[in-house]
Amino acid sequence: MAARTPGIASEPALRLVAESGQPTMVLTRVFDAPRRLVFEAHSKPEHVSRWWGGRRHRPTVCEMDFRPGGAWRFVLHGPDGTDYPNRSVFIEVVKPERIVFSHGGGREGGPGTHFEATWTFDALEGNKTRATARMVFESAADRERVVEEFGAIEGGHQTLGRLAGYLAKMA
């Protein structure tokens, strides 16, 4: 399910790897924006609050201390009024190459979700950037639950689509 970006035959515009039985999910997308801009969109609450989450969710960033050991708290507000509180702790921040964080979240009153995420940003020719998000869950069953219960695959596609639109406005 990889769409191609015109003019970049070897780079998929969006690629997802989420194999059953594996505790990982990897999303990759090529953006028509320079690496520094893609990294910036991930590092400041005023940017993240404009694109994070699926199309039907509205994010509220409560705190974003963007440094190793810093906390990132946000709530995704679902279309049915359900709130999904999330808390992450940044483990590594290497500007403009990589962000690593430990994530926990879930539905209010529901089971939580925990994974470690590594985002990498690769500069490509033509002022483009390949962003890769690798999420490692505690178990394959946890990853499957996130896919089924929270619609993580579609949500990932939508989130990166929203980011692409936001980056076009920032450029």
Q: What is the pLDDT of residues 1-18, one digit of tens each?
A: 344 333 333 445 677 787
Q: Which residue has the higher pLDDT, 150 or 10?
A: 150
pLDDT at 95 exceeding the cut of 70: yes
Q: What is the pLDDT at residue 13?
A: 66
Q: What is the pLDDT of residues 30-79, one digit of tens each?
A: 999 999 999 999 999 999 999 999 888 889 999 999 999 999 999 999 88
C-alpha dihedral, 154 to 158 to 161 to 163, nearest 10°? -130
The third-level CATH classification (topology) of the domain covering 25-170 is Alpha-D-Glucose-1,6-Bisphosphate; Chain A, domain 4 (3.30.530)
**Domain definitions of the chain by residue range:** 25-170
pLDDT at 132 exceeding the cut of 80: yes
